[in-house]
Structure 1
Amino acid sequence: MVVLATKVYVRGEARERALDALRSLVDNEIGDLDVEYTVGVRHDDFAVVTIEGGDEVVARNVLREAFGEITPDFEPGETYVGTLEAWDEDGFVLDAGEEVRVPAGELGLGQGTPVQIVERFGLVQHVPLRFVYGGEPADGSEDEEAGEQRPHRLADEERDRLFDWTRGAGRVNVNSATRGEVRATVNRAGHARDIVTVERLGLLEQSIVCKDETDPPGLLAAIGDYLPAEIRCVIP
């Protein structure tokens, strides 16, 4: 079994559509392998894939690489994936199967409070983010001698990805909708020619990549009435 680092938090018909989309994504990744699998949702809304067959080890590794994995154990200094659950003046709170608080000083995303950083980088709730687990320092380290625990921090590759967002043509980030639903919404609003693509961040978290001449706030206003979602812009 693999617990994927993406959540299914919508309900009703939207939940069934999300699970259908997840089955398609999983099939794209491991459908050609010698395995049988079932897709489900854990009590805390994380997606779960149960796998059996000759290629099950390979299949698990493929899904871990594609989605990230929620694990029961953490090693200090290793990189994991959690979903952004909350933020305040003190930092971010990620859900990685347990609550992981990343202090404001460990975000590494430039000036401003965590609340301002969320707005600047267009972060929406539940988006998967990579972080480095802190906790007890390694044996023999200076931190150990000082009796200090290292704080959790955003991973360098996550910081680089978010900074790249601010150097492009602009984005509109959305949660609570599959990639197909977001693409259909953009088409319905008559803006298919104004975007480059819809980039999947998680199962229900998407990033609409705008063309150079497209105004992200204008696109947000155009699609907002069609999507019952949290929507934020990234403005270069």
Structure 2
Amino acid sequence: MFLDEMAKQARNLITDICTEQCTLSDQLLPKHCAKTISQAVNKKSKKQTGKKGEPEREKPGVESMRKNRLVVTKSIVGMTMYNQATQEIAKPSELLTSVRAYMTVLQSIENYVQIDITRVFNNVLLQQTQHLDSHGEPTITSLYTNWYLETLLRQVSNGHIAYFPAMKAFVNLPTENELTFNAEEYSDISEMRSLSELLGPYGMKFLSESLMWHISSQVAELKYEIIEELWSSNLAFANYFLFQTE
């Protein structure tokens, strides 16, 4: 009974595939060309007269046109679970584990069809090492760069997070308003290794340059404020000295 059920399911599947292929082949028959040409001519004439024509007929092959990016690329960005409103994001180690599990499942497809899943995954991950992908959409590199800049670095500047040399990671400092994340879980050695493996050399270069630019901007601003304070103090001292001399 089990083998009989498997045979029936295989028969139904093959029948559906054959029926679909017959339908697609029928769309390519010459008899449909005249209708397509007539519809195009009528559409032009209706457009000139301002009348509405019949709905446009779908052309053969429209089902094969890719309407969106690879499903894998959407899936990987979605695994970051980035929430811009709450500034929440998955830890790099968690994302790396999910990507490895996803790739393991997809690689099993190679046992049934001749698709180089490894090459597909490498192409997808290579796009994720850039600031934007080929469609101009944000990648995991841009998402993690924005998070480390706008969330972690901002809390460091506010004095809520500090670097702890013994642990070689950033840690939360006791404050009145508790932070929604633990800095150690995103900045220790294991998480940095996972992040570097996900972003690759190009992504880590972009992250490093962005961090250094923000840090240098803050240092320059601090230097400007110190010089301005010293100038004001020296000016006050000079005025006091002139007043005493007079």
TM-score under structure 1 length normalisation: 0.21
TM-score under structure 2 length normalisation: 0.21
Structure with the higher fraction of residues in strand conformation: 1
* More RCO (CA 8 Å, sep 6+): 1
Structure with the higher fraction of residues in helix conformation: 2
